[in-house]
Amino acid sequence: MRMPEPDTRIIAARRGLVADLRRLVADDGVIEDEAALRVFECDGLSAYRQLPLAVVLPRSTSEVAEVLKLCRARGVKIVPRGAGTGLSGGALPLADGLTVGVSRLNKILEIDYPNRCVVTQPGVANLALSHAVSAAGFYYAPDPSSQIACSIGGNVAENSGGVHCLKYGLTTNNLLAVETVLIDGTVMRFGSKAFDAPGYDLLGLMTGSEGLLGLITEVTVRIVPKPETARALLIGFPSSEAAGEAVARIIGGGIIPAGLEMMDKPAIHASEAYCKAGYPLDVEALLICELDGPPAEVDHLVAVVKGMAEACGATTLRISTSEAERQRFWLGRKGAFPAAARIAPDYYVMDGTIPRARLSQVLRRIGELSRHYNLPVANVFHAGDGNLHPLIMYDANNPGELERTEALGAEILKLCVEVGGVLTGEHGVGVEKRDLMPEMFSAVDLAQQERVKCAFDPDGLLNPGKVFPTLHRCAELGRMHVHHGQTPFPDLPRF
């Protein structure tokens, strides 16, 4: 969608703000040129685009503090941005808001092996943490598919997961401390290198807060030793139901794999065409189960899982015999999202979580919805913890197809809530699920959440328009009414 001509009031506001910002941040750290601003007009949820008022790229915590202090004094809205790989529109800019990028805060500050932790700035890429400690036999466990690009600060803001989070936990389970700048420029530290800290769990509150409470400028994460042995099983099934039964037996048997991922037939074919990982193409569902630990334990568990899979009707089963083969098994799964781009001009990544026992029911219903909306869906998900990632294929050039895609996505997320699940597992709420929040939370629930935001951001300047269907002034919360949006994101411009 072509962007409207810039509002003269926006241009005037930009001039005044930019002049002040250049007194606080090096000149090349302030962006106002419209061509350069287009780099920041969307994140991974790219069905919507919006030019920000301006972009600032501070190089230090003190610069971030001065920028936020200025914005509060001038009443300027702020959108924090990491690497821009988010999939819920959390970093979508505002026409009257300043985007504050942390890409220049990109240094690892300390590697503390005795305490098994790393202190890093938020702009460092997820995978860079593992590379930095690999030679000493350590790694950082949460591994989103975008780990080569996504930033650790964004991971904290969204509480990101990954294929190895079943055993090792999400970001929140591997996070020890954060440094955060509040809207008035106050620098706060939550958490420490110690195992626990007294008082309220404000570190837990900041994790997954999507930029609504403060801007993260430093992160301390836990690192773990590389396992002695890791082997993966690639298991094909004649149906998703059979694969789901195998998942239930593995978890029910007390086995906690390092990773337990599932793909349906469309996802298998797309990934194999893209990555050439050696996936079987004559199966309806594919399970990847990784087991790690001491060699004797891994050998035993491999045999147990193999027996469970065969009992559930597995038609193909391969066990990795080398590290290269194990990595190849994961290559297709981690390449599933870009692989989808080869079979459709556009795709929409959903993110909901369900009880594992409802997996077959939900997959069956997604198939029915796919046929009803006449849009193909490929399913990729973290089977071990019930986190689904349906990929809806569409073509934005066809009139009405994006609207049908949004409607289908909303139905899938409502389904997740109906069966006892939640709206998001790791991608966050952002704008994508904002208008669906009342499906899961009552007006009272949402009002309580807004009160927390008010305690940190009384003027509502931090990432407004995200998470809450209607953001009220703090004084209004006692008489709050939550609005159920009828049109998805009516305030946001599209392609």
| Pair 195, 242 in one domain | no
| Pair 267, 217 in one domain | no
Report pLDDT for 493. 63
Report pLDDT for 47. 82
For residue 3, tell me if it sits in a domain. no
| Pair 233, 262 in one domain | yes
For residue 369, tell me if it sits in a domain. yes
| Pair 280, 356 in one domain | no
For residue 481, tell me if it sits in a domain. no
- Which of 418, 441, 465 delimits the end of a domain? 418
Chain-centroid distance, C-alpha 164: 15
| Mean pLDDT, the chain, integer | 92
Chain-centroid distance, C-alpha 121: 19
For residue 319, tell me if it sits in a domain. yes
| Pair 120, 218 in one domain | yes
Report pLDDT for 14. 75
Residue 320 is part of which domain span?
A: 229-337
pLDDT at 3 over 50: no
List pLDDT tens digits, range 151-169. 999 999 999 999 999 999 9
pLDDT at 5 over 60: no
What is the band of 443 on the pLDDT scale with cuts at 50, 70, 90?
very high
In the chain, the number of structural domains is 4
For residue 372, tell me if it sits in a domain. yes
| Residues sharing a CB contact under 8 Å with residue 398, sequence separation 6 or more, in sequence order | none
| Pair 360, 411 in one domain | yes
| Pair 289, 331 in one domain | yes
| Residues sharing a CB contact under 8 Å with residue 78, sequence separation 6 or more, in sequence order | 68, 71, 97, 98, 99, 100, 183, 215, 461, 462, 463
